[in-house]
Chains A and B, each alone.
Chain A
Amino acid sequence: MAKIMEASGLRKRYGAVQAVDSVTLDIEEGICLGILGPNGAGKSTTIEIMEGILSPDEGKVLFKGKPIGRDFKRKVGIQFQTTALPEFITVKETLRLFSSFYPDPRPLGQIVELCSLADILDRDNRKLSGGQRQRMLLALAIVSRPEIVFLDEPTTGLDPQARRNFWDLVARIKAERTTVVLTTHYMDEAQVLCDEVAIMDHGKILERDRPGKLLARHFTGALVKIPKGCIDGALPASGRMVADFLEIQSTNLDDTMRELLAGGINLEGLSIHKPDLEDLFIELTGASLRN
């Protein structure tokens, strides 16, 4: 498939902090890419470089094979992690204002319907609740019918229902063949929405692939977890500590249980589940955080 964006060798330093460290990231047209990583990993910095908002110390960004220029701004939709809205004007006026910036904006009615803004159209921007604000910011990001949207933690602060509505909305945008790049701290969200995920820490991309492939690469069988407090003796040979848990990847649960019991381990807090992105995230970033 065609690459809509290609970033290569991006580096950005803030004083002593190497916020982005040699990031190379290609994005195929029409996919949803999730960037996951702990706080301060460099997710926002990376996507702001790709949006053309920050200039990197090194590296380059191509949009459809060409360096990003003025034209790019008409084709990109952006939702920053934190943005202020103009004060004293209403949601409707703000939407009109932003519509006026683009040659072929979505009709107001469509955007209102897509982002469920009908109830708050005449409300002053300053009086929106956290979730209403997120919906409004998302509306501003897609008002231009962008070819690619960057959403930086779009669901932070949303209630579970609103989060699900947001998932539907992203699905609809994707159905229009818009490429979506989003950052999130919610692994369930990444699992539902993203065709591919990239896991970042310390400014580097640690892994990047389809969620299923990533899981298959790092886990085999079921995942048995026991809280650290329940273990006083030696660790069983098949297990290892990941964050605060003893973790065992087990292809044969009978054998695993026997091993644990033989080791005199208290099974009180034991859990067994199919490994998911959450586990992968902790596996990758938790492990590297400890060094």
Chain B
Amino acid sequence: MRQFWAMVYARSMEFVRDRGSFVWSLVFPIILVFGFAFAFSGNGNALFKVGVLGSPPAAAAASFMAIEQVQFIPYDGSAPGKGLASSLDRLRRHELDMVLDLGSRDFYLNAQGKNASLLRRLFLADPAMAGISEKTVTGAPIRYVDWLVPGVIGMNMMFSCLFGVGFVIVRYRKNGVLKRLKATPVSALGFVSAQALSRFIIVIMTSAAVFAGTNAFLHFRMEGSWLTLMLVASLGIVSMISLGLIFAARLKNEELVNGLVNLITFPMLALSGVFFSLEGSPPILRSVAKAFPLTQVIQAARSVMLDGAGMAQIAPQLLFLAVFSAAALAISAALFKWE
């Protein structure tokens, strides 16, 4: 046990003194959050999003439903995220600007929506839509930063875990630190767990610091419980560290690991919805994205923060992360070699 803590301490000191990575892991996400908060504080999306239920009348094709600046997203069906109820949820959160229910001939606007009056005017100007009655929902807008902050912190976690564990252990192997440790009574399991724990502590602390630092100025929306959010973050970190350990298990070449880590972080960045919602992107892409731990972490964190989801609602994500971590740990344990 003494040797375990000594290794955790040594690795953590190494990180803290490596000013470059330490400062970067704090400053980079903070810059991103503030940068995006500033860039998107204005008028929001130029594109209007309208959720549609039921099939449009033939004549409608000519006017309202042909406006190019409006994206029409079908919400028919009973799959999760579909149906009237979920489209109205989205409208309340300002993720949709309008919902058009052609079956029961209603249209919904958000009373607090910036685009409501413009859309109403456009809509009522279309004779084919005559007789459809207006209904109203209310809900404060979710600012882009509220939505973004889980994404940026999740991304930072991913980089910190994959490089901090994967890359660093490979560097130890290449420069002979691992060989030196192999000559001591330290077990591979003890060494790896110490590395993982040190990284866990570091990432939890930097994430909390980034969150607290930006929250002090931006006051993020927080509907759910802090405890649930911590659990999501912790499981997320564990899953990323486990993934990093697969790279660390055997490889000897730092450049190769660097390339491989980039190879998997790039699609995660692009597809996990860090910066932009994947709503409306091809279903194949979305199902690929579901296999990434980052997607699951961000989704769960957003549900907790934006919708006040509890443990029950995010159970599928938590389960995914737990299974993913267990599988990744088993693979890396089976592959691990000192040299």
Q: Taking beta carbons and an 8 Å cutoff, which residues of A are in contact with B?
A: 51, 53, 70, 73-74, 76, 78, 80, 82-89, 93-94, 96-98, 100-102, 124, 140
B13 and A100 contacting across the interface, CB-CB below 8 Å: no
Residues of B within 8 A of A87 (CB): 14, 18
Does residue B10 face the partner (Cβ distance < 8 Å to A)?
yes
25 examples of A-B residue contacts, CB within 8 angstroms: A51-B183, A53-B182, A53-B183, A80-B176, A80-B180, A83-B179, A86-B10, A86-B177, A87-B14, A87-B18, A88-B13, A89-B14, A93-B10, A94-B10, A97-B6, A97-B10, A98-B184, A100-B2, A100-B3, A100-B6, A101-B6, A101-B184, A102-B184, A102-B185, A124-B17
B10 and A89 contacting across the interface, CB-CB below 8 Å: yes
A83 and B176 contacting across the interface, CB-CB below 8 Å: yes
Minimum-distance CB pairs A-B, first 6: A100-B6, A84-B175, A88-B14, A88-B17, A78-B183, A100-B3
Interface centre among B14, B17, B176, B185 (most CB of A within 10 A): B185
A105 to B180, CA, bound (A): 17
Does residue B122 face the partner (Cβ distance < 8 Å to A)?
no
Does residue B288 face the partner (Cβ distance < 8 Å to A)?
no
Does residue B7 face the partner (Cβ distance < 8 Å to A)?
yes
Does residue B142 face the partner (Cβ distance < 8 Å to A)?
no
A47 to chain B, nearest CB (A): 11
Identify the closest chain A residue to B183 (Cβ). A78
**B33-72 interface code vs A (CB 8 A; 1 in, 0 out):** 0000000000000000000000000000000000000000
Does residue B201 face the partner (Cβ distance < 8 Å to A)?
no
A70 and B10 contacting across the interface, CB-CB below 8 Å: no
A130 to chain B, nearest CB (A): 16
Identify the closest chain A residue to B338 (Cβ). A53
**B170-206 interface code vs A (CB 8 A; 1 in, 0 out):** 0010011101101111100000000000000000000
**B1-25 interface code vs A (CB 8 A; 1 in, 0 out):** 0110111011001110110000000
Task: Determine the main DSSP class of A at the interface with B.
Answer: loop
A93 to B7, CA, bound (A): 10
Task: Determine the main DSSP class of B at the interface with A.
Answer: helix
B23 to chain A, nearest CB (A): 14
Q: Which of B13, B179, B182 contacts A93 (CB 8 A)?
A: B13
Residues of B within 8 A of A88 (CB): 13-15, 17-18
A53 and B179 contacting across the interface, CB-CB below 8 Å: yes
Residues of B within 8 A of A101 (CB): 3, 6, 184-186
B180 and A83 contacting across the interface, CB-CB below 8 Å: yes
A98 to B10, CA, bound (A): 10
Identify the closest chain A residue to B182 (Cβ). A53
Given A88-B15, A97-B9, A100-B7, 13 additional A-B pairs, CB 8 A: A51-B183, A70-B185, A74-B185, A83-B179, A84-B175, A84-B176, A85-B180, A87-B18, A88-B13, A89-B10, A89-B13, A100-B3, A100-B6
A137 to chain B, nearest CB (A): 9
Residues of A within 8 A of B172 (CB): 84, 86
A102 to B186, CA, bound (A): 9
Identify the closest chain A residue to B18 (Cβ). A88
Residues of A within 8 A of B183 (CB): 51, 53, 73, 76, 78, 80
Residues of B within 8 A of A86 (CB): 10, 14, 172, 177
Identify the closest chain A residue to B185 (Cβ). A73
B184 to chain A, nearest CB (A): 5
A55 to chain B, nearest CB (A): 11
A57 to B176, CA, bound (A): 22
A98 to chain B, nearest CB (A): 7
Residues of A within 8 A of B185 (CB): 70, 73-74, 101-102
Residues of A within 8 A of B176 (CB): 80, 82-84
Identify the closest chain B residue to A137 (Cβ). B180
A98 to B9, CA, bound (A): 12
A144 to chain B, nearest CB (A): 8
A83 to B173, CA, bound (A): 11
**B72-108 interface code vs A (CB 8 A; 1 in, 0 out):** 0000000000000000000000000000000000000
A98 to B7, CA, bound (A): 9
B17 and A84 contacting across the interface, CB-CB below 8 Å: no
B184 and A84 contacting across the interface, CB-CB below 8 Å: no
A124 to B17, CA, bound (A): 10
Residues of B within 8 A of A78 (CB): 180, 183
A101 to chain B, nearest CB (A): 5
A93 to B18, CA, bound (A): 15
Residues of A within 8 A of B186 (CB): 101
